[in-house]
Amino acid sequence: MFMRAYQDMVFSTAARLAGNDALAEDIAQEVFVRAYEHFGQLRTSPAAGGWLKTVATNLLLNHFTRHRKRWRLFSEFTNHDSAGESTELDFPVPDTLLADLGSEQRRAVIDEALRRLPDHQRLPLVLYHFDERSYDDIAAQLHVSLAKLKTDIRRGRAALLPLLTAAGINRDHLET
């Protein structure tokens, strides 16, 4: 069935961008309602997955635009110095991240870490790493300058990596 084939991908896309399961469910619902309106073309199209992902992303970004939750001029994250640059990571980073965890545990850890990021860092980070888009592309879609986008992605990474490393080092964290 069409929906069962794509619902995990659509929900993942929405949830990782939104950082909020309720919103992600609303977005996923709207994506499939729109897919139903174009079902004639999508049913046999090999690009159906890409179409669904694009619609989910655009709906999410429209939502953030409408609610003005996007891209404040200052960072909300505390892991940076007063000049606005992210602090250097002061601990050794292992060769692999969360390698000793099962894929479901790894997914849970990363999704929780993403959820903790502020919107203006999470959105470009997810678009860059999960959607594999270029900086220029993301900056154009989010209506921010290239410099701001790079700063946000850099800060998001700087915030995310310690969370993931700490979770990998302390497995007890996962059991709670």
Partner 1 sequence: MRHDPEPDQDRQRWRLLDQTLRDLPPRPAPGALEPRVFAELRRRAAQPWWQRRFAYWPWPARMVFVVVCMGSSVLALEGGQWTVASLASVAQYATGLLSTVTLLAALPTHFVPPVWLDAALAAGAVLYAMLFALGAFGYRALYLNSPGR
170 lies in the site for partner 1, by CB under 8 A = no
- In whole angstroms, give the CA distance from residue 86 to residue 151: 8
- 114 is written with which tokens? 């993403």
Question: Which of 43, 72, 107, 171 is the binder for partner 1 (CB under 8 A)?
Answer: 107
The 3-state DSSP class for residue 75 equals: coil
Of the pair 71, 128, the CB lying nearest partner 1 is at 128
User: Mask 4-23, x = binds partner 1 (CB under 8 A)?
Assistant: x--xxxxxx--xx----x--
Q: Which is nearer to partner 1, 98 or 144 (CB)?
A: 98
Residue 169 interacts with partner 1 (CB under 8 A): yes or no? no
Name the DSSP class of 10.
H
| Of 111, 5, 122, 129, residue with least CA distance to 60 | 122
Q: How far apart are CA 23 and CA 49, in angstroms?
A: 20
Among 23, 26, 28, 32, which Cα is nearest to 11's? 28
Specify the DSSP element, H or E, that contains 162: helix 146-169
Stretch that binds partner 1, among 55-63, 74-82, 103-111, 115-123 (CB under 8 A): 103-111
Footprint of partner 1 on this chain (CB under 8 A)? Answer: 3-4, 7-12, 15-16, 21, 25, 28-29, 32-33, 36, 89, 93, 95-98, 103-104, 106-107, 110-111, 129-130, 132-136, 154, 157, 160-161, 164
